[in-house]
Amino acid sequence: MVRFSQVGLRYPDPTRGAAGERDTLRDLSFTLPQGSFTWLTGPSGAGKTSLLRMMQLALRPTRGEVEVLGVPLSRAKRADLPKLRRRIGAVFQEFRLLPYLTAFDNVALPLRLAGRAEASLRPDVAEMLRWVGLEGREEALPQQLSGGEQQRVAIARAVVTRPALLVADEPTGNLDAVQARRLILLLAEMNRLGATVVVATHSQELIAQHPGHVMHLEAGQITALTPWPYAPPEEILPEPAPEAWATPPDEPADESAAPLPQGFSLDLSAPEPEAGWVEEVPPDEEEEQEPLPPMPEPPRSPARPAARSIWPSIRPGSHRGPPHG
């Protein structure tokens, strides 16, 4: 769970003199239940990145209280923060890959820091790199990778530990349409297994591909907050959302539907989300709602995933929550 109570953040502002400051975030109050999926929208400079960095424990508020995964930061001991951060995955626009480590070692780093045995982590890291399309690039250094490849390494590193909270700032900025859809499949499956996911984006297409709350920021304040599963109001998405999972005519229909990563042994199961966001649908209205668009079928093999996998293939109807209209 993530809870903000009257949170504000101020930065020094050179344009206002030596003691001048400006408010980046102002009086934010909201609760994201465990297992929720939230799209964070707003113009550049609205405070989205600062908000995500607070959730990642990289920034402390100037005022107010932030609670992350049940821990109020005002009462958290400095020695406890590294352990708490290991339960949080983060993808930002600056990838922060270690330049002297290969793609494989960058992804393996958080597992090694957590004490995972080398024999146990190697197949997990290899599978994750394969799934993000970097099979054969495991030994490449960051400077030998393109911007899109570096972003995929950063994404793999963020999710390989199966975090309880994942925050992502424009995670598809350097990805093509196929890789962007594969990423949404991965985030959706993590969320289905219990992770809280918060994604900052300007892309209406991404928001159309997975139902969730939409939190809209303007000048450091929340100006709209939609209750899932309802579609965002017109003032947030002025254009009609495209049909989810539609494949452009010039792209193969099955390229984005590779099986989700298999072979992971860490259990990410979590309690059901708390009440507060999801509105109950009366039984007599359930039949009137349209079903979710079908998910793409894995192209490789219809065989069931290995028994030790915690990443069951996405199937139609596997998403938790009411249909997304």
pLDDT in tens, 126-146: 998 988 889 999 999 999 999
What's the rounded mean pLDDT across residues 157-174? 90
Mean pLDDT of 246-267: 39
Burial class (CB in 10 A: 0-12, 13-18, 19+), 74: exposed
User: Given this model, what pLDDT does residue 138 score?
Assistant: 96
User: What is the predicted pLDDT for the residue at 211?
Assistant: 77
Between vectors from CA 54 to CA 53 and to CA 59, what angle results, nearest 5°? 85
Q: Rounded to the nearest 10 degrees, what angle do helices 177-192 and 147-159 cross at? A: 10
Residue 308 has pLDDT above 50, yes or no: no
Q: Measured at the alpha carbon of residue 61, what is the angle toward residues 55 and 64, in degrees to the nearest 5? A: 105
- Looking at CATH, the fold of the domain delimited by 32-58+78-232+254-268 is given as Rossmann fold (3.40.50)
Sheet holding 213-218, edge to edge: 88-91, 165-169, 196-200, 37-41, 213-218, 221-226
The model carries a pTM of: 0.68
- Sorted by where each begins, the domain ranges of the chain are 32-58+78-232+254-268
State the pLDDT at residue 179: 82
* pLDDT band, very low/low/confident/very high, at 206 (cuts 50, 70, 90): confident
Cβ–Cβ < 8 Å for 191, 31: no
